[in-house]
Structure 1
Amino acid sequence: MTTPGRNRPLKIGIVTVSDRASRGIYEDKGGPAIHHELTRIIANPWEPVARVIPDDIDTIAATLTALVDDEGCDLVVTTGGTGPAPRDVTPEATERVCGKMMPGFGELMRSVSLSVVPTAILSRQTAGIRGTALILNLPGKPSAIHDCLMAVFPAIPYCLDLTGGAWIETDPAVCAAFRPKG
């Protein structure tokens, strides 16, 4: 199968959604944790495009849109804003800008997280497709970022193959991508 994005450079948006981190009151640990995990998982060259923004639905939606439409990101991974607190609106912003929602990603992330902590049921991780890009909402804690990315990343390269996004090759010793044979 020849995928449309096979010869394009891979760009990945990394978005930390946090009022405190965006104001410099709190050190952003989520964005660097995502970057670290992606560096371990992805074997082909890729370019990160990082943003730290406040918990505001319009700002989140505009940032996600700009990363996909203007920056050309094939994958956008967010951290923060997935809980039940009033300012946790990352999933709503993601739904606002995506044409298709991919609920299986959130279901798997919650399932994996529930084996670690019973409060994972409070998390509202989700994913959706905007154009050819996948937008993935992760929790904010670095250890949960690791657990969730390791759970869902095997499906991400094939998802982008199907949408026409850029090619992702993984390091099979860290996280083997699944692509159907034939």
Structure 2
Amino acid sequence: MIKVAVLTMSDKGFKGQREDESGKLIIQMLKKIDAVVESYKILPDEFELIRDELLNLCENKYDLIITTGGTGLSPRDVTPEATLAVVEKRIHGMEIAMINESLKYTPLGMLSRAVVGIRDQTLIINLPGSPKAVSENLEAILPVIPHALEKIKGSMSDCAEQREKLVRDHEN
């Protein structure tokens, strides 16, 4: 079982002025990998609050933290900066996979600043804020999350076997 926290960054959502469709979509999509969301919060776009919540969740041994929102170019979009203040290793391949998937639908995908990284044994993934972009981006990386978590936790399993399984699943 994968222990997950979902964080939505939205000033309007935090104030109750907007429903959080993206956070709810993430929770639904994670069922495909048998993940259990044990924490769900909406935070305002505030660097310190985001950073501190990420640190708290890592200290509480969450396997996976997925954020939505705050990855764009507006002055209040600080989720990537807060995430970079927390992670110890980046996973550029997952970031690239999300951008590549977004570019299939819109050239605006190249404006994403989403970060994917690891702190201790926690995988942190930033997703965009719109439900459509969340769906596209998470679908692109969802199949590799369980294997990534196994490796983060120290599994010595053979990556070649997992690769072959993912190739077969993708072809079907």
Superposed counterparts of 1:13-32, under 5 Å: 13-32=5-24
**Equivalent residue of 1:179, what SS?**
helix
Work out which of the residue numbers 55, 62, 76 in structure 2 matches 1:87.
76
Gaps of 5+ in 2: 156-160, 165-172
Moved more, 45-54 or 28-37: 45-54
Contact 2:6-2:67 at 8 Å conserved across structures? yes
2:49 alignment counterpart: 59
Contact 1:56-1:87 at 8 Å conserved across structures? yes
Work out which of the residue numbers 33, 41, 61 in structure 2 matches 1:42.
33
Instruction: Count residues with an aligned counterpart.
Output: 159
Shift of 1:101: 1.1
Find runs of 4+ consecutive structure 1 residues off by over 6 angstroms.
none
Shift of 1:81: 0.2
| Amino acid paired to 2:88 | G
Cα deviation digits, residues 31-87 of structure 1 (max 9, x gap): 101111112x123x62431010010111100111111212x2100000000001111
By relative contact order (CA 8 Å, sep 6+), the higher-ranking structure is: 1
TM-score by length of 2: 0.86
Alpha-carbon distance in 2 for matches of 1:133, 1:84: 26
Overall identity of the aligned pairs, in %: 38
Superposed counterparts of 1:129-168, under 5 Å: 129-164=118-153
TM-score by length of 1: 0.82
The answer to which structure has the higher helix fraction is 2
